Chain A
Amino acid sequence: MRAPLARRVASSSLFLGLVSLVCAAVLWQLAVTIFPIKSYLLPSPVAIGTAMVIQFPYQAQHAVVTLREVLVGFGLAVLIGIPTAVAITFVPVVEKLFYPILVATQAVPKVAVAPLFLVWFGFGEAPKVAMAVVIAVFPVIVDTAVGLRAIDPDMVRLARSMQAGPFKTFWKVRLPVALPNIFAGLKMAMTFSVIGAVVGEFVAGTSGLGYLIQAATGTLQTTVAFASVVLLSFMGIVLFLIVEAFERIFVSWHPSMDRLY
Chain B
Amino acid sequence: MMTSHIPVGARAAVEISALQKTFRSVRGSIQALAETSLTVQPGEFLSIVGPSGCGKSTLLSLIAGLDRPSAGTIRIDGQQVSGPHESLGVVFQRDLLFDWRTVLDNVLIQVEMRGLAPKAHAPMARKLLEMVGLQDFHGRYPRELSGGMRQRVSICRALVHNPTLLLMDEPFGALDAISRDRLNVDLDRICSETKKTVIFITHSIAEAVFLGDRVVVMSPRPGRVVADIAIEAPHPRDLSFRETPEFAGYARQVRRIFEAEGVL
Contacts and interface: CB of A to CB of B under 8 A. Distances in A.
A binds B: yes
Interface of A: 152, 154-155, 157-164, 168, 172-173, 176, 179, 253-255
Contact of B114 (A152, A162, A254, A255): A162
A190 B107 CA distance: 37
Nearest to A159: B113
Contact of B66 (A152, A160, A168, A172): A160
Interface string B101-140: 0000000011011110000000000000000000000000
B143 A172 contact: no
A152 B95 CA distance: 12
Contact of A172 (B83, B90, B99, B113): B113
B113 A162 contact: yes
A179 B99 CA distance: 12
A173 B98 contact: yes
Ranked 6 nearest A-B pairs via Cβ: A162-B113, A164-B113, A161-B90, A253-B100, A158-B96, A176-B100
Contacts of A155: 96
Interface of A is mostly: helix
B86 A163 contact: yes
Contacts of A161: 64-66, 84, 88, 90
Nearest to B141: A253
Interface of B is mostly: loop
Interface of B: 64-66, 83-84, 86, 88, 90, 92, 94, 96, 98-100, 109-110, 112-115, 141, 143
B113 A163 contact: yes
Q: Which of A152, A160, A163, A164 has the largest count of B CB atoms less than 10 A from its CB?
A: A163
A139 B83 CA distance: 38
Contacts of A160: 66, 84
A67 B65 CA distance: 54
Contact of B84 (A163, A168, A172, A176): A163
B109 A253 contact: no
